[in-house]
Amino acid sequence: RTKSEDLKNIQDLARIIKQASHILVVSGAGISVSCGIPDFRSAGGIYERIQKTFSLFDPQEIFDLNVFKESPELFYSFAKEIIPRESTEPSLSHRFIRDLECHQKLLRNYAQNIDGLESIAGIDRVVYCHGSFSAAHCLRCNAHYSLDDIRPDIVTGRVPYCSFCGNRVNWDTNIHESSNNPSSEYKSCIDNNSSTDGEDEDRITPNIIKPDIVFFGEALSDQFFDCFESDRETADLLLVIGTSLQVAPVSKIPFCISAEIPQVLINLEPVGPSDWFDLELIGPCDVIIERLYQLLGWQHGMNHVGCF
């Protein structure tokens, strides 16, 4: 792609933001690092910690759906390290995305993070590409749970099982342990399952509760594809902030929008193909964004009457 001649430094970026009205922001774990949440792939990040704790060939296996179904205790022995704490506050980068929205400049925030800080910052036009911890479902009967329902299990490292299903499958022996008191929900769960899965499938689908984060081996939501189908035509600026751009399909976004749209990377390190972005601002994103606030003449969270 031909780089824009008008986008050589952060002052140019501020000018383009002032003119833009359909900014697409792709964000990743780097924007939550200043909130005390480690990213995945940096030294000392989540994957390095998983690698040290478990003997896995690839630490990403902890987010693999098949591994989860076979050995949910693996994920749940680590999940307490990555669930959002109730006291965690959004970073300046989250607040900046919200301020873009308040200025009616945000087309969409494609967020890969599962910490939910976008919503706490008040961002409405967000797509949680990899889901979030805020809800969970039984793999077997699809019963809905909130994070608070399963938090006690998560913090003590236990696997949460569905209480609606009424019976727990003992996966070591593959024997169903019958409940003393099967509930009516249990019956409807089985009815639901038998109509779609059949009895064999019913027996092999564990009644584990899984947080609604997108594991490897799962499809992204229809919302992601539906939004991006229209956003790719409408965007007038792409900001990629705090992501290594290693996980598809989000990593493909820069290549799927029109080549004429200016693209800017704000990250601790260069990512993606060299020479791809019109402008790379390398450093801690909050520091770069603080400078952008100054150049835009915006105040944090105060710039649109009624927005907050």
| Binding site per annotation, positions for Zn(2+) | 138, 141, 165, 189
Cα of 274 vs its chain's centroid, Å: 25
Query: Is there a contact between 90 and 122 (Cβ–Cβ < 8 Å)?
Result: no
Stretch of residues binding ligand OAD (CB under 6 A), selected from 118-126, 151-159, 188-196, 263-271 = 263-271
Contact string (CB under 6 A) for ligand OAD, positions 100-119, x = contact: ------------x-x-----
Give the span between the Cα atoms of 15 and 266, in whole angstroms.
16
Q: Which is nearer to ligand OAD, 171 or 216 (CB)?
A: 216
Give the span between the Cα atoms of 68 and 77, in whole angstroms.
12
Which residues ranging from 53 to 72 are in contact with ligand OAD (CB under 6 A)? 60, 63
Q: How far is the CB of 307 from ligand OAD (least distance, A)?
A: 25
User: Nearest Cα to 282, choosing from 95, 7, 16, 9?
Assistant: 9
Stretch of residues binding ligand OAD (CB under 6 A), selected from 17-25, 33-41, 132-140, 191-199 = 33-41
Q: Calculate the alpha carbon distances from 7 to 2, 18, 26, 145, 296 in Å.
A: 12, 13, 19, 47, 15
User: Nearest Cα to 28, choosing from 255, 290, 270, 266?
Assistant: 266
List 265's β-bridge partners, or say none: 240, 280
Q: How far is the CB of 128 from ligand OAD (least distance, A)?
A: 10
Q: Which is nearer to ligand OAD, 71 or 246 (CB)?
A: 246
The active-site residue, picked from 22, 94, 103, 130, is: 130
Q: Calculate the alpha carbon distances from 219 to 225, 291, 301 in Å.
A: 10, 38, 35
Helix or strand run (H / E) with residue 50: helix 46-53
Q: How far is the CB of 239 from ligand OAD (least distance, A)?
A: 12
Contact string (CB under 6 A) for ligand OAD, positions 195-214, x = contact: ------------------xx
| DSSP 8-class letter at 159 | P
Binding-site member from 1, 4, 10, 42 for ligand OAD (CB under 6 A): 42
Q: Which is nearer to ligand OAD, 53 or 246 (CB)?
A: 246
Stretch of residues binding ligand OAD (CB under 6 A), selected from 135-143, 228-236, 268-276, 290-298 = 268-276
Q: Which is nearer to ligand OAD, 209 or 245 (CB)?
A: 245
Q: How far is the CB of 32 from ligand OAD (least distance, A)?
A: 9
The sign one gets for the Cα dihedral 207, 208, 213, 215 is negative
Contact string (CB under 6 A) for ligand OAD, positions 242-261, x = contact: xxx-xx--------------
Annotated active-site residue 300? The verdict is: no
Alpha-helix residue ranges (DSSP H) falling in 54-212: 65-70, 72-78, 92-102, 117-121, 147-155, 184-196, 198-204
Tell me which residue has tokens 């296996």.
61
Query: Is there a contact between 50 and 78 (Cβ–Cβ < 8 Å)?
Result: yes
| Interface positions with ligand OAD (CB under 6 A) | 28-30, 33-34, 39-42, 45, 60, 63, 112, 114, 130, 213-214, 242-244, 246-247, 267-269, 271, 284-285
Catalytic residue ranges: 130
